[in-house]
Chain A
Amino acid sequence: MALENYFDALLSVVGGIPTTMALALLSFAIGMGLGSILLLVRFFLPKPLSWFASAYVEAFRGTPLLVQIFIIYFGVGGFLKDYGINIDPFTAGVIALGLNSAAYQAEIFRSAVQAIPVEQYLTAEAYAFGKTQTFRYIILPQALRIALPALMNEMVLLIKDSSLVSVIGVTPPDIFRRADYYASRHFTYFEAYLAAATIYFIICYAMVKISHVIERKYAIPGYLRRGII
């Protein structure tokens, strides 16, 4: 392996950061919007409707993301093409990642809500809070704090999973697709993919560090945590 090839590959691959981050951030936002709706459905609506929300979650958790990307891009995209609507790979990628993330974020929210002691609900009831007020002022603020680490983790997963979207030829190319180009142009596979891995690692590691700062900032004061390194 040639060190200069590795650095050369790094310089080329870095150009994929904006696309990768755009894929991850947009799909995270979609996931959060739809994930919150799924949570509200499960919290407020009667059983049959909340069952639909659960079915959605299980469908997306139980199938590979790559298959979902293909279904959205080639399946749904191909179907819409017949009606003159074109979906480019980037849009299809964001939609697929977003729908997938919604399922995971809905689960994150659900387990956060379930982690809140039943006594908190009881107290809210005793003090005559309505169901919406209880959710808004007592459950949600606590649940978001509980969910924060898992949400940040989901963001990191999305950054890494966004590399799957490169297989449908996302443009402008993301980190992985740029590495792919570089590798096949220079026949330096090891250097190129190692460069991609390096960039993903740096971004994800930075995200983890940032998330620790955010978690600490929003931690409930006085809540003792075990120091696990």
Chain B
Amino acid sequence: MSAVVTVRGLNVAYGTLEVVKGVDLDVAQGEKVVIMGPSGSGKSTFLRSLIWLVKPKSGKIVIDGIEVAQQTLMDVRKRVGFVFQHYNLFPHLKVIDNIVLPLVKVHGLPRGEAVQRAREALQLVGLADKERAYPLQLSGGQQQRAAIARAIAIRPKVLMLDEPTSALDPELVEEVLRVLEDIARRGTTMLIVTHEIDFALDVADRVVFFEGGKIVEEGPPDILYNPKTDRFRQFLRRLHRRTS
């Protein structure tokens, strides 16, 4: 299987604070990779640096066969759907226009076609009846589903999600996870930062444990039952105590 995302020797820093330290990662076509790790371990920074929202200090990133560089940046970003922890919808635009705007202005689709695609995406996330609502009129779960619709409407080669459910009230987490499971089943390549163990067990092909800006352990979802390293074991135990 060909890799959609290839990362080699990635280093990212904020000034002198080194946050990502020499990470290597491959994500194959259709693969679902779940990233876990303690708060502050650099997961968000890692994900953001893949499309240069934070510019890496060194390393090589290839996405869909294109090496990320200044000249290829826009091209690469067009192939990535990004979902943020706090949804980040554009509050002044209706839900449908949040999805249509990048399709028309960035991807150059005719408006009619963009609206069509936006409606399909909204259908998929169960928000067909909310297309004319404004983001701030929706619940957190609905906003996040709208943000997911915005991401999948561009038909990304890879979907990157940074803790998509961790800003949500507990009773709203499930509706978002169900949508993500649906999308996963459709064969979309996904790179997800999440601490939802059950979701990882159901959906992930591989789980990556991040700590101190490094990948400490990785493997099939089974490692969630049987972690090899003490650090991952401790992390999971703490996570378990928090959620049960």
Q: Which residues on A are within 8 Å of B, measured CB to CB?
A: 119-120, 122-123, 125-130, 133, 137-138, 141-142, 145, 220-224
Which of A128, A138, A221 interacts with B74 by CB under 8 Å? A128
- In this complex, the member of A125, A126, A129 whose beta carbon has the largest number of chain B beta carbons within 10 angstroms is A126
A220–B105 CB distance below 8 A: no
Closest to B137 in A: A222
The verdict on B186 contacting chain A, using a C-beta distance below 8 Å, is no
B51–A222 CB distance below 8 A: no
The verdict on B199 contacting chain A, using a C-beta distance below 8 Å, is no
- Top 6 nearest A-B pairs (CB, nearest first) are A222-B136, A222-B137, A128-B77, A221-B134, A126-B82, A123-B88
A142–B74 CB distance below 8 A: no
A222–B134 CB distance below 8 A: yes
State the CA gap A212–B6 with chains docked (Å). 54
B137–A221 CB distance below 8 A: yes
B105–A137 CB distance below 8 A: yes
The verdict on B101 contacting chain A, using a C-beta distance below 8 Å, is yes
The verdict on B241 contacting chain A, using a C-beta distance below 8 Å, is no
B102–A129 CB distance below 8 A: yes
State the CA gap A138–B101 with chains docked (Å). 10
State the CA gap A137–B105 with chains docked (Å). 9
A142–B92 CB distance below 8 A: yes
The verdict on B84 contacting chain A, using a C-beta distance below 8 Å, is yes
- In this complex, the member of A120, A123, A129, A130 whose beta carbon has the largest number of chain B beta carbons within 10 angstroms is A123
A145–B92 CB distance below 8 A: yes
State the CA gap A224–B136 with chains docked (Å). 9
Which of B77, B78, B134, B150 interacts with A125 by CB under 8 Å? B77
The verdict on B221 contacting chain A, using a C-beta distance below 8 Å, is no
Residues of B within 8 A of A221 (CB): 134, 136-137
Q: How far is the CB of A113 from chain B (nearest CB, A)?
A: 14
Q: Contact mask B127-138 → A, CB, 8 Å, 1/0? A: 000000111111
Residues of A within 8 A of B136 (CB): 220-224
Q: B residues 46-102 with Cβ under 8 Å of A?
A: 48, 51, 53, 74, 77-78, 80, 82, 84, 86, 88, 90-92, 101-102
B53–A122 CB distance below 8 A: yes
State the CA gap A141–B134 with chains docked (Å). 14
- In this complex, the member of A133, A142, A222 whose beta carbon has the largest number of chain B beta carbons within 10 angstroms is A222
The verdict on B106 contacting chain A, using a C-beta distance below 8 Å, is yes
B92–A127 CB distance below 8 A: no
Closest to A141 in B: B92
State the CA gap A190–B177 with chains docked (Å). 73
Q: How far is the CB of A104 from chain B (nearest CB, A)?
A: 24
Which of B80, B91, B133, B134 interacts with A126 by CB under 8 Å? B80
B84–A119 CB distance below 8 A: yes
Q: How far is the CB of A121 from chain B (nearest CB, A)?
A: 10
Which of A120, A126, A223 interacts with B77 by CB under 8 Å? A126
Residues of B within 8 A of A125 (CB): 53, 77
Closest to A123 in B: B88
Q: List 22 A-B contacts (CB under 8 A).
A: A119-B86, A120-B88, A122-B48, A123-B82, A123-B88, A123-B90, A125-B53, A126-B80, A127-B102, A128-B77, A128-B102, A128-B106, A133-B105, A138-B90, A220-B91, A220-B92, A220-B134, A222-B91, A222-B135, A223-B91, A223-B136, A224-B136
Q: How far is the CB of B208 from chain A (nearest CB, A)?
A: 21
Residues of B within 8 A of A222 (CB): 91, 133-138
Give 13 A-B pairs besides A119-B84, A141-B92 with Cβ atoms closer than 8 angstroms: A119-B88, A122-B84, A123-B82, A123-B90, A126-B77, A127-B102, A127-B154, A128-B77, A142-B92, A220-B92, A221-B134, A223-B91, A223-B136
Residues of A within 8 A of B84 (CB): 119, 122-123, 126
State the CA gap A128–B82 with chains docked (Å). 11
State the CA gap A221–B86 with chains docked (Å). 18
State the CA gap A220–B91 with chains docked (Å). 7
Closest to B103 in A: A127
A127–B91 CB distance below 8 A: no
Residues of A within 8 A of B78 (CB): 128
B74–A130 CB distance below 8 A: yes
State the CA gap A212–B111 with chains docked (Å). 34
Q: How far is the CB of B140 from chain A (nearest CB, A)?
A: 12
Q: B residues 130-183 with Cβ under 8 Å of A?
A: 133-138, 150, 154
